[in-house]
Amino acid sequence: MSEIDIKDTKIGVVGAGSWGTALAKLLAEKGFNLDLWAFEQEVKEQINGKRENIVFLPGKKLPENIVCSNDLATVVKDKDIVLIVVPSHCMREVADNLKDFLSKKTIIVTASKGIENKTHLTMLGVLREKLIEIDEKNFAVLSGPSFAKEVAARLPSVVAVASTNSETAKYVQHVFASPCFRVYVNDDPVGVEIGGAMKNVIAIAAGICDGMGMGLNARAALITRGLTEMKRVAISLGSDPLTLSGLSGVGDLLLTCTGALSRNYTVGKRIGSGEKIQDITKDMRMVAEGVKTTKSVYNLGKKLGVDLPICNEVYYVLYENLPVEETRDRLMNRALKHELDGLVDH
């Protein structure tokens, strides 16, 4: 697919948090004129007036070809691609509000990571349920190891875009790809989304591990066994476990479990250091998706009958106030098993 095929692509970005703003900046720097929807009036005024999202992505100059609006219709109407980057708990409401303004031919791309609490649907699942006029082949998900601040700083980043339709995936790949943002295609959107969502739960656990001073051995083991839990869920949902060995699985997992820029890791580390989740989240402007996703994963695991010991213990810490020392001891003293339980027959 040549550059001429995408040069006139009309794009709307829904969500002006740090990640949505970083992706809008990336696309604008490629030359696309795009509209960006912000929920907050102050964010709109900052972007249009000062060319900076001071609230969510301070210090990054935004190109003039980004026009920010608080009106969803303006942002999504007559667009070839609508990129949705809102917190997972807002996805259903936002999709409901924008559905009447979309063209049936619009390609819908989500870069949000999470699993809905009540339905246990991934973000694509929510969008498919609400945007019934959009053909299945026009949905895609973008995910991978990509801190917003680093993407906005044009540091090298590599992600995957997944769709059940290969032409949609390739089209989105070419729209987003740049010299500092490499994009691979994938045909397993559910697996990509499970990786993007569950890694946030494991990142909280990794932060708890480091906050308690349990050492590098423990963190490495926790990341590895966390990946096993991600693969178990993916297999149960009919996805290819190899997807979780890729960018949206291992890649994103390593980043969020070890990087200081990870909000989920930071929340976990503060818990491991003795703080309470209620005190941590009450003053957070930006969402740590793993907190809400933990509840979804816990209930989804029960529904699927999948063994998720690490995710379950994170749930007990966040929602039942179980002491972190007790969760550590329970994990270390579980019944001894085969390493590949739940992954292969043996």
What is the average per-residue pLDDT within 309-324?
A: 97
CATH architecture of 191-332: Orthogonal Bundle (1.10)
121, burial (CB in 10 Å: exposed 0-12, middle 13-18, buried 19+): buried
Sheet holding 66-69, edge to edge: 66-69, 34-37, 11-14, 81-84, 107-110, 139-143, 157-162, 181-186
Confidence (pLDDT) at 1? 40
Confidence (pLDDT) at 346? 53
pLDDT in tens, 165-198: 999 999 999 999 999 999 999 999 999 999 999 9
Q: Assign 3-state DSSP to the chain and report helix, strand, coil percentages, each to 5.
A: 55, 10, 35
Confidence (pLDDT) at 281? 86
pLDDT tops 70 at residue 345: no
The ranges of the chain annotated as CATH 3.40.50.720 are 3-187
Of 130, 199, 231, 292, the active-site residue reads: 199
pLDDT in tens, 3-14: 447 889 999 999
Confidence (pLDDT) at 3? 47
pTM of structure: 0.95
Q: Is 133 helix (H, G, I), strand (E, B) or coil?
A: coil
CATH architecture of 3-187: 3-Layer(aba) Sandwich (3.40)
What is the average per-residue pLDDT within 218-231?
A: 98
Q: Taking the CB of residue 320, how many other CB atoms lie within 10 A of it?
A: 7
Cα–Cα distance, 324 to 268 (Å, whole number): 10
- Nearest C-alpha neighbor of 297 from the set 211, 219, 199: 199
**Mean pLDDT, all residues of the chain:** 95
pLDDT tops 90 at residue 282: no
pLDDT tops 90 at residue 287: no
| Annotation marks residue 7 as catalytic | no
SS (H, E, C) 218-287: HHHHHHHHHHHHHHHHHHHCCCCHHHHHCHHHHHHHHHHHHCCCCHHHHHHHHHHCCCCHHHHHCCCCCC
342: tokens are 């739940």
Q: Taking the CB of residue 251, how many other CB atoms lie within 10 A of it?
A: 20
pLDDT in tens, 38-75: 999 999 999 999 999 999 999 999 999 999 999 999 99
DSSP annotation of 38 reads -
Concatenating the DSSP letter of every residue in 300-333 gives HHHHHT---HHHHHHHHHHHH---HHHHHHHHHT
